[in-house]
Amino acid sequence: MYVVVGISFLFILGFAISEPVRPLFIAQVGATTLELGLIMALPSLVRALTRVPVSTLADRLGRWRMVLLSLMLSVATTAMFALIDDPVWFYPVVSLSALSWAVFSPITMVVVSEQSTPATRGVFMGLYFTAIAAALLGGPLLCSLFTLILSLRQLLLASAAFPLLALTVFLLARPRDMEQDRRIDEPEVEMGGSSWVSLARIFRIKNVIALCCARVAFSLSMGVFSTLFSVYAVGTLGFAPSLIALLFSFRGLTNVLIRMPAGQLSDRVGRRKPFILAFGINALVFALLAYAENLALLAVTMALYGVGWGMRIAPSTALLSESVTSEDRPLAMATFMTMWDVGFTIGALLSGFTAAFISTPTMMLICAPIIFSALMVFILLSTETI
């Protein structure tokens, strides 16, 4: 459990350090706004196409072997990204990087879920996601400091040290089942036709439908934000990269502070209420982003963004886990995470294709009713499981 939490923290930290400035670096290398949208969308598209097949493959080859592969890929692609000097090379590099995410995230999430009971799953998932949120907080803070002394390229290269450290920790810990084909208690997910049968069974559950709709809507808005905000803040608002990273850290701070309480709250009052509150906050955040131009209001908005983001995670994951059978859980988790990639891809592509005639504030405002509509779907379809 602690190895999983530790390597998850380091894995995410390597990405979180560069997240605020990645769009700036891509543009600096020479990408147009359209190319920026395509490059930002590509990782999510790759993950959406590969995450479920990779999940079933992991059950055949062994989860820990696949985690090892994902960590090695992460180290290589993080370093390669920093060395690119022609936008065309972003496409293969970010595609390979996406494969590491497609392997790592669903496997570690399933491991944590299987080590908990329904009564404690909210706390366990809250602990796991708190570690991820801590990385999302620490990353922008380190980015804000590093951009004062390093160029964007140097910062991106330095960020490769964190997945390398995660790989080192993993090899030193060497999980007991690493040499085995699979753990005895890991249910096998059949390849081929039976996977489609399992997917059909999963999507007959209303909670799964409601959660997937909500996840697509939220990640779509995240795709819009991640593609446009940093470039908008530098070009239109005149903020320095270090200040943008600092704003991201406000989001990270509230994100990390809310995740564990949200998990505990969902164990007491049910999964739906914290999730509904979180989505209401998220709709408000994107309405505010459309009008916030001064630093103080943006700081408050980003702090609210972190609350809405972090509060929804543990309750939604616990609700999903409790809504499906243990046999379907690995595939359900992988499918659920794929919904994020579907939404993010749509959001990033929309941002790239519409940037020439729709302003960034207008795109942010469009996201607010999308999130609210998904919230209404969730309220109408979902039911409690505890």
DSSP 240: -
Alpha-carbon distances of 283 from 152, 176, 217, 339, rounded to whole Å: 32, 44, 10, 19
Kindly report the average pLDDT of the chain as a whole number: 86
**163 φ/ψ angles, rounded to the nearest 5 degrees:** -65, -30
Residue 186 lies in a domain: no
Contacts of 376 (CB under 8 A, 6+ apart): none
Instruction: Give me the helix-helix angle, 2-18 and 63-82, nearest 10°.
Output: 20
User: For 74, how many CA atoms within 13 A lie in the half-sphere containing its CB?
Assistant: 31
Q: Looking at the domain assignment, is residue 183 inside a domain?
A: no
Q: Is residue 181 part of a domain?
A: no
- Predicted confidence at residue 180, as pLDDT, reads 47
Query: Would residue 243 count as lying in a domain?
Result: yes
Closest CA to 385 of 259, 269, 265: 269
Model confidence at 245, pLDDT cuts 50, 70, 90, reads very high
Report the pLDDT averaged over residues 355-363: 91
Stretch (H or E) spanning 202: helix 193-202
Place of tokens 């097949």: 53
pLDDT band at 218 (very low <50, low <70, confident <90, very high): very high
| Mean per-residue pLDDT, 145-165 | 93
Q: For the chain, what's the residue count?
A: 386
Structure tokens at 226: 């991640």
pLDDT value of residue 187: 43
Q: Report the distance separating Cα 157 and Cα 164, nearest Å.
A: 12
* Residue from 328, 329, 334 nearest 105 by CA: 334
Structural domain tally of the chain? Answer: 1
Q: C-alpha angle with apex 254: 351 to 305, nearest 5 degrees?
A: 25
- Euclidean distance between CA atoms 151 and 166, whole angstroms: 24
CA distance 100 to 7: 13
Give the separation between CA 285 and CA 306, rounded to whole angstroms.
10
Tell me, yes or no, whether 188 lies in a domain: no
pLDDT (0 to 100) of residue 189: 42
User: In the structure encoding, which two tokens stand for residue 80, read together?
Assistant: 């390669």
Mind listing the pLDDT tens digit for each residue in 335-353? 888 888 899 999 999 999 9
Rounded Cα distance, 212 and 343, in Å = 10
- pLDDT at res. 121: 63
Residues 202 and 208: beta-carbon distance below 8 Å = yes
Residue 140 counted as domain residue: yes
Which amino acid is it at 110? V
Q: Is the dihedral of CA 335, 48, 247, 232 positive or negative?
A: negative
Give the CATH number for residue 211: 1.20.1250.20
Q: Range of 130's domain? A: 2-174+194-381
Is 264 inside any structural domain? yes
Condensed to tens digits (0 to 9), the pLDDT of residues 263-313 reads: 888 888 888 999 999 999 999 999 999 999 999 999 999 999 999 998 998
**Cα–Cα distance measured from residue 198 to residue 218, given in angstroms and rounded to the nearest whole number:** 25
DSSP 8-state symbol, 190: -
Considering the domain boundaries, does residue 151 fall inside one? Answer: yes
Q: How far apart are CA 195 and CA 255, in angstroms?
A: 34
Q: For position 212, what pLDDT does the model report?
A: 93
Q: How far from chain centre, in Å, is Cα 258?
A: 16
pLDDT at 115 over 70: no
pLDDT, average across residues 46-72: 80
Q: What's residue 217's pLDDT?
A: 96
pLDDT of 194 reads 60
Residue found under tokens 């190895």: 3
Band (pLDDT 50/70/90 cuts) for residue 11 is very high
